[in-house]
């Protein structure tokens, strides 16, 4: 189980996470939703060991985040991060070198599915192709936890379908999936649990069906209610 306990993460005067408490259980598929700047990426980076909490703790299987958790948790960040010299085949070698759970056949199948060629230079890929590569490399790990940070960001409609299908195929009872997005609608068909984050704290969490039954509303309506609407502002901005 991946657990955040009283986690505070500050950047200067701003708190990205403000006494956050949440757990992610094995075998479930979570949507981590919230507007930009709500703390979703910081949460994932803490779980990936790339960012350290200012206070509180993040543990996986009751162990602090470190070499052990990194061998069990696969993380895909929003930014491009592969070395400039690499071709897609070098990315495959890198993952195979460092991650015992990396399945090369699965990676090659995913590349084929995403219409990517192993000889392509990573630096020359379009943003959409780079995103597909990151997702292929992450999903090719047969990790216990797979975290995808905004996997559909900047992807065209057809690409979104490819990615959603790849994620659906990759989900399995042995793995926990945490997929972040600032829009819930696009994840609705993939996930069975939702964690809504606002101002660095969890404002709503639970199974989709339970939440719908409890509040008598769709998740999208709840999302709009929690994060508000700026319809009132738009008229002012456009001078109407």
Partner 1 sequence: MKLLAKHVKYDLLKYKNALLAVLIGSGVIEMAHIIAYLTEFKTLYVITVIILMIALFSAFFVLLIYSVGIFSIDLSKKQGYMPFSTPTTSRTLIGSKIITTLIVSAATIVLILLYGGIDSYLAAREAEPGLSLGYAVKTILDELDGSWGYIAVTVINMIAQWVCNILTIYLALALSATLLGESKLKGLVSFGLWIGVNVVLSIISLIVTKIFGNIINFNVDAYAETPAEIFSVAFGGSAAALSIGLNVVVAVGIYFLTCWITEKKLSL
Q: Give the footprint of partner 1 on this chain (CB under 8 A).
A: 11-12, 45, 48-52, 66-68, 70-71, 75, 77, 79-85, 94, 97-99
Shortest Å, Cβ 226 to partner 1: 28
Shortest Å, Cβ 149 to partner 1: 11
- Of the pair 129, 194, the CB lying nearest partner 1 is at 129
- Of the pair 7, 33, the CB lying nearest partner 1 is at 7
Shortest Å, Cβ 76 to partner 1: 10
- Of the pair 84, 236, the CB lying nearest partner 1 is at 84
- Of the pair 82, 223, the CB lying nearest partner 1 is at 82
**C-alpha distance from residue 24 to each of 41, 123, 134, 205 (Å):** 15, 34, 23, 10
Shortest Å, Cβ 206 to partner 1: 30
Residue 64 CA, distance from chain mean position: 20
Residue 32 CA, distance from chain mean position: 7
Shortest Å, Cβ 117 to partner 1: 21
Extract the tokens encoding 85. 């010299």
- Of the pair 85, 238, the CB lying nearest partner 1 is at 85
- Of the pair 66, 206, the CB lying nearest partner 1 is at 66
Contacts of 217 (CB under 8 A, 6+ apart): 225
Shortest Å, Cβ 231 to partner 1: 34
């Amino acid at each position: 189980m991946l657990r955040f306990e009283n986690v505070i993460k500050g950047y200067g005067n701003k708190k990205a996470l403000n006494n956050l408490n949440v757990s992610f259980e094995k075998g479930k598929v979570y949507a981590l939703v919230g507007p930009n700047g709500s703390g979703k990426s910081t949460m994932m980076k803490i779980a990936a060991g790339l960012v350290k909490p200012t206070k509180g703790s993040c543990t996986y299987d009751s162990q602090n985040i470190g070499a052990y958790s990194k061998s069990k948790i696969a993380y895909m960040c929003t930014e491009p991060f592969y070395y400039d010299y690499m071709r897609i085949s070098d990315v495959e070698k890198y993952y195979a070198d460092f991650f015992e759970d990396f399945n090369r056949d699965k990676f090659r199948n995913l590349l084929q599915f995403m219409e990517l060629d192993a000889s392509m230079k990573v630096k020359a890929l379009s943003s959409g192709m780079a995103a597909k590569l990151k997702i292929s490399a992450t999903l090719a790990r047969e990790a216990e936890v797979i975290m995808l940070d905004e996997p559909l960001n900047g992807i065209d409609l057809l690409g979104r379908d490819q990615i959603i299908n790849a994620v659906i195929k990759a989900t399995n009872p042995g793995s926990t999936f945490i997929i972040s997005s600032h829009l819930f609608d696009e994840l609705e068909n993939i996930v069975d649990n939702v964690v809504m984050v606002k101002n660095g704290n969890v404002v709503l969490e639970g199974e989709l069906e339970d939440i719908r039954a409890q509040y008598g509303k769709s998740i999208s309506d709840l999302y709009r209610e929690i994060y508000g609407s700026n319809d009132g502002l738009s008229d002012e901005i456009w001078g109407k």
